[in-house]
């Protein structure tokens, strides 16, 4: 197990972006009539969070900070 337990800029950024994607997708499902375009935009944003995390981790932003 790592020392940082996910407390890194890469992890926090990915979580925030994924949360935005879930909210956008949820709003699309709550509209009347249901907007599948907005829902799928939310899905794409959520998937982009994983890609963003991978890129930021490769840039070294998922390293544990020295105490």
pLDDT in tens, 15-66: 999 999 999 999 999 999 999 999 999 999 999 999 999 999 999 888 766 5
Dmax over CA atoms of the chain, in Å, equals 52
Inform me whether the pLDDT recorded for 13 exceeds 70: yes
CA distance 49 to 44: 9
| pTM for this predicted structure | 0.84
Classify burial at 48, counting beta carbons within 10 Å of its beta carbon; exposed 0-12, middle 13-18, buried 19 or more: middle
Residue 67 has pLDDT above 60, yes or no: no
pLDDT at 66: 59
CA torsion angle 55 14 61 7 (round to 10): -160
pLDDT given at position 49? 97
């Amino acid at each position: 197990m790592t020392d940082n337990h996910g407390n890194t800029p890469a992890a926090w950024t990915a979580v925030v972006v994924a949360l935005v994607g879930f909210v956008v997708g949820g709003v699309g499902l709550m509209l009347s009539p249901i907007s599948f375009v907005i829902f799928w935009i939310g899905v794409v944003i959520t998937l982009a969070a994983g890609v963003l995390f991978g890129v930021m981790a490769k840039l070294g932003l998922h390293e544990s900070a020295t105490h």
